[in-house]
Structure 1
């Protein structure tokens, strides 16, 4: 056994996914906690270039698994961690973050735009200003986020010999954009399908109404790490459809995952059925333990109007991105920049500050 394996901590041991065959022409990249990969890499690079000192404060805004990944990395490397979140964070995750030593600040009031993102960023900037020498990973804008996925592309290439299509959910822009950029160095004909949800601005919808029940993908602000020119197709998946697909993935393949994985699987399984002679790979970002009282609870699904008995056979094709009500739809993005697709609507996309 190599010294690397002997000295691996839990972050190193869990950072890479398992390759699981779901169909003869579809593999899943199943992560225990995908955000460990960018969290570890971003902190490592910050220490190397001096933007983070040993023992220095790390501060970030997050309500999901990037916060958990940062808490694990910070705890093991001796960094205090300050996380800014909002009421959407689930209580078990908050308790786990605090048990790992993180300070979790909950923003109770929305910002001027009506959402929490702007208000969270205001708190974050104050914390950074009040703590000289502190470091913010900025997962939405830091190029080391997509840059961290080179090992995933290498793992997939070794496991399959080559893939025709990569499917994954889009939130910060890191996993799909990063993995596909490396895969296309090896397989230049690779097709990429992004999976978003309704009321997310990433691919041209508005966030009007907010309160997305399906979390972990999509965004209310436009992440600069999203390379729109990477995507051939974009799918929008509703919460009920993603939740049932999550349960189907568990029932049919014994893969216990979260709803972000379920949304990606729904699209990937459809693609595999449409393309039996090609090989696809789908990114499954995290496990299902955080969702045992929600997605895996029939009573919760019914109470939230998200109970669905049968999955739709396939998506509706849209001729342009819009705020449509179709529970599952897709659009042929065609590897174009956001402005090329949206034209005059480009001005409505709010960029996250650098």
Structure 2
């Protein structure tokens, strides 16, 4: 989620906050106290500066806090269709969608063992750019490479990417010029991003964390809302045995939306994402299966409130599903589900839109 202000304050946000904390006692000082007792609080230079800071901070708050707006439910029609075939040149390790340039249309970022391929489009998906990962190799490279990807929100959002095939990762941002947006590397990354909590890879293995509590993949969303518009923070962590644990946090949501304990979804592979596709304020999880490499695979769209119930959609593919992303590709306000299906024996993938 990108937070954008409507204007520029002459006093920076950090200074405003620090000022209010540092001199907040001025407001509590009686008008008759101290060296300026006769003039009152408003007469002191420090008090006048505090009053100015308060006024500017109050004006900035609406721009810094996302207003609560209830979602408007829509109908979702599922119809799987191939949107593109992309030669990646290396194995696909992850797929994520993000709108880094702020134009309302998300791009897809396909993370391979060598680079990040930027894809964009609506009904048809086309390649926009390729960004090489840092060249330095790790001291220990696992037999099966893994990746961690996370969207870093802010006034200038960034994509954080780290793979086990390189000693460092990459921070990606959008730069807008006369020719339009382009995506650039904006610094290297030491850590493996994991929804605000860095992941630690197990040396030589295909997972993060300790051997007795492995983490195979993690995905988080902070741009979803409940039925009444209350913001949701959601994360999904894939552990051993194909068990995906979905946890959500919301200050005043019903238990069906933000249950007190994580919801478990079984039979899940490393490709999954979270969304509210029909905008009813209740979450869906889109998951691929946990079958062996090269086997047929299946995509399922499940309700987080009833993960063991009937799937809202399911589709079988002859190849394995290597990535899933739920994003608004064409800027129409609807979330599209895209999955990447490996073509056996190649580094080529077919991208399918499911709705």
User: Normalising to structure 2: TM-score of the pair?
Assistant: 0.29
Asked which structure has the greater CA Rg, the reply is 2
Determine which structure has the larger strand proportion and give its number. 2
Determine which structure has the larger helix proportion and give its number. 1
